[in-house]
Each structure stands twice: as structure tokens, then as C-alpha cells.
Amino acid sequence: MSTPPTTGPAAGRGMWRVVAEREVSTQVRSKAFLIQSGLLLVGLIGMVVLYTFLGDREQTSTVGVVDEISATAVDEASAIARSTDDNAVLEATRYDDVAAAEDAVLAGDVDAALLPAASGEGYELVGEDGVSPTITQSVTAAVSQLVTTANAAEQDVDLAALVSGADVGQRLLDPDADDANLRQAASFIFVLLFYVTALTFGLTIAGSVTQEKESRVVEILAASVPIRALLWGKIAGASVLAIGQTVVLALAGVIGLVATGNLDALGVIGPAIGWYVVFFVLGFVTLASLWSVAGALASRQQDLGGATAPLQILLFAPYLIAVTAGEGVRTVVSMLPVVSTMLMPARLAEGDVPAWQLAVAIVVTLLAAVLFVRLGARVYENNLLRTGNRISFREAWARRSPADA
């Protein structure tokens, strides 16, 4: 004798897992999902490779000379330049006379020329429309050092005694300042990745809900699965995919930095990568229910753009703030829900963030997640089976569910 199917709350217990598994299996077989994931992965690895290439590439500057003293000065200048920038190299190129060296500068064959001054005393740097600070500072220091040493020997002066106590040391108040470009790049990548991932998966959630409404598949599902279980399943499935993709990208970034020998860079932004994953989980779960609601408010795919427009604005606003706002504004809004998901990891990448600000951002986002999911569940449950024209949020909120009728 067959057993009749179970109905009521017991039937919905655990059904959200079935819906979530269906969402995951459908998406991982989707070409769009695979292509999007592949492009993000390739783009991230490409950025790591580009950073390595640009960071390790020598920047050679050529200086035209016409005598041995100038050539020696350029060699000394190269050593001075390397003491402040490992990738800076100066090379001397010999010419027969001053006119030939000047012609080389005008032709772009050399970056500058170190020539005897027209007055007959000292030297001058000759450029076409300017001379780089690296060449100017290092060559000036080298010429000064060589000429001073030569003059001291000629005058029988003990140069060591003369310059005793004149050494100038260096003490850094902000030793991380050299990492500013890396930190800013990581900050921008965090903001961009969350924006792209949340928007892509959010539109996928909304589109899936609307497609099921338009094809009437949802009516079949609702006959055997509680509507709220459908919502939990949608949120869980999309969150698993989005979080899984984020973890893979984070691991790929770490592995890329290690493989390319950028351990210093990993030490600088590594903690921020971990916090990015944490805030992504909180932020995406907060938004997932709202994307499902947006899909429930649209009855056709043509209505989806209008239904999801407020959420797209909600995502774009923190992106705009992250790129354009000042430090004070960014500090305040980085503790607000959704915005914190973009801005807090970005701030962590740029430097230290007080622990209390991290705690506030996490607590506020958790509270927002609970509130948004509860509100979203009501609207979703009340309007998923409603068809016809696109439903406004006011109508959706006021509408009572069949269970309440």
C-alpha cells in the first residue's frame, strides 16, 4: 500500500535544501556562469602578473656624455639612483662632441646629456623639454661628489675630516608609504569585485524567480514546497555560488602572489583579502532576499529592469562613494549595511582600521541581514503567485498572503 505524500509544515522542513541544490546545479551547468567565473579568474590572475611585471621591470635612462669625467659621473649616479629605487638604472652613451650629444637629445636617442657648461666651469644637464627627477637628482649628487673629491685632493684637503659629522641618516615615520599604490589597487579591486559579483548573481536570482513566474513553473513548485522554503532555497543556492566564487578568486589571488614571488605584497594586503571574504558573505546574504523580492515583483522578463533598478542603484551608490568620496565620508558610510561590504575591505587594504569600527560594521550588517530577510520573506510570500502587471513595492507590502485572507 502506497504512503500518501506528507503535507503541511513537515513537508517544507528541509525542502529549502532541495531548492538550493537545484539552484546550484542549474547555475554550475550554465555557460553564462562558467564564462563569467572564468573571465573574473583570468582578469584577477592577469592583474597579479601585470603587477609583477611592472614592479620588477628595470627603468633604464640614458645620458649622453662627451668626456670620461661625465661618464664616471653617470655610473656613480646609477648607483645613487639604485639606492632609492631598485629598478632605476642610468647608462652613459659616449658622443664625439657637444653638438652630437645635443642632436641625440633632440632625436630622442638619449633622455638627457651631461655636458661641460658653456662658461667653462662645471657641468649642465641638457634635455629636450625637461629632465626627469631621477636623472636630475642622482647626476647632480654624483657630479658634486666627484668634483668635491677632486678639488679636495688638488688642495691637499683631508676630505674625510672635512665632511665628518655631515652624514644624514633616514628614519621613516610611515614605512608603509611605499605600498600606497599596491594598497589603492587592492582597494579598487575589492570594490569592483563585489559590485560585479553582487550585480551578476543578483540579476540571476531575480531573473530566475521571474522566469519561473512567467512560465507558471512556480505554481507547480508552490503546490509541493512552501513559498517561504522557495525563498530560503533561492537565497542559500545563490549565496553558496557567489561565496564559493569569491573564495576561489581570493585563493587564486593569494596563490598568484605567492607563485610570482610577491610575498611582500601578500603581507600587505593578505589580511584585507580575508576580511573581504567575511564582509562579502554578510553583504551578499543581506542583498539576496531583496533580489528575490525584485524578481517576485516582476511578472515578465520585460518588467525585470524596472523591478531591479532600485537595487542596482543601491549597489552603484557605494561604488561611487568608494571611488569619489573623501576619507571622512568613507569612514562613516563604511559602517553602514551593504556599503560596508565594499568600503570596509577597501579601507583595510589602504591601512589600519580601528577594531570598534570593524565590530560596528559587522553588527550593523548582521542586523540588516535579519531585517531584510524578514521583510523580503513577507513581500516574496505575498506576491510570488501574483501575475499581471508589474507590482509596486507599496502594493506588494500591503497585499495579504492567501494564508492571511
* Each residue's pLDDT tens digit, 283-338: 888 788 778 777 777 777 777 777 788 888 877 877 787 777 777 888 888 888 87
| 202 and 184 part of one domain | yes
Which of the four pLDDT bands, split at 50, 70 and 90, describes residue 391?
Answer: low
Q: Do 244 and 294 lie in a common domain?
A: yes
CB 361 within 8 A of CB 340: yes
Give per-residue pLDDT as tens, 224-236: 777 777 778 878 8
Least reliable range by pLDDT among 120-124, 177-181, 354-358, 364-368: 177-181
Q: Are residues 139 and 200 in the same domain?
A: no
Domain membership of residue 118 (yes or no) is: yes
What is the average pLDDT across 127-148?
80
Q: How far is CA 266 from CA 186, 269, 286, 370, in A?
A: 11, 5, 29, 34
Q: Hey, what's the cell of 370?
A: 535579519
Verify that 315 and 386 share a domain, yes or no: yes
40 and 63 both lie in a single domain: no
Q: Where are the beta strands (DSSP E) in 282-327?
A: none
My answer on whether 213 and 250 are in the same domain is yes
Q: Residue 308: name the closest of 393, 234, 243, 181 by CA.
A: 393
Q: Centre a 10 Å sphere on the Cβ of residue 42 and count the other Cβ atoms it contains.
A: 11
44 and 71 in one domain? no
* 328 and 273 assigned to the same domain: yes
Assess whether 341 and 312 both reside in one domain: yes
Q: How confident is the model at residue 195 (pLDDT cuts 50, 70, 90)?
A: confident
Amino acid symbol at 342: M
Tell me, yes or no, whether 261 lies in a domain.
yes
C-alpha radius of gyration, the chain, whole number = 32
CB count, 10 Å around CB of 303?
18
Q: Give the model confidence (pLDDT) of 247-264 as tens digits.
A: 888 888 778 777 777 777
Of 106, 137, 152, the domain-final residue: 152
372: in domain: yes
3-state secondary structure of 172: coil
C-alpha dihedral (337, 338, 344, 349), degrees to nearest 10: 170
Residue 129 amino acid letter: D
145 and 198 part of one domain:
no
Query: In terms of domains, do 32 and 127 share one?
Result: no
Number of structural domains (the chain) is 2
What spatial distance separates the first Cα and last Cα of the chain, rounded to whole Å? Answer: 37
Contact 364, 335 (CB under 8 A): yes
- Check whether residue 236 and residue 369 sit in a common domain: yes
- Res 66: pLDDT: 86
CB atoms within 10 A of CB 71: 16
Judge whether 166 lies within some domain. Answer: no
- Which helix (H) or strand (E) segment is 336 a member of? none
- How far is 145 from 68, CA to CA, in rounded Å? 15
The residues near 351 (Cβ < 8 Å, ≥ 6 apart) are 176, 183
Whose cell is 656624455? That residue is: 65
54, part of any domain = no
Range of the domain at 111: 59-152
The helix (run of H) or strand (run of E) holding residue 310 is: helix 304-324
Whole-model pTM over 0.95: no
Residue 392: Cβ within 10 Å count: 12
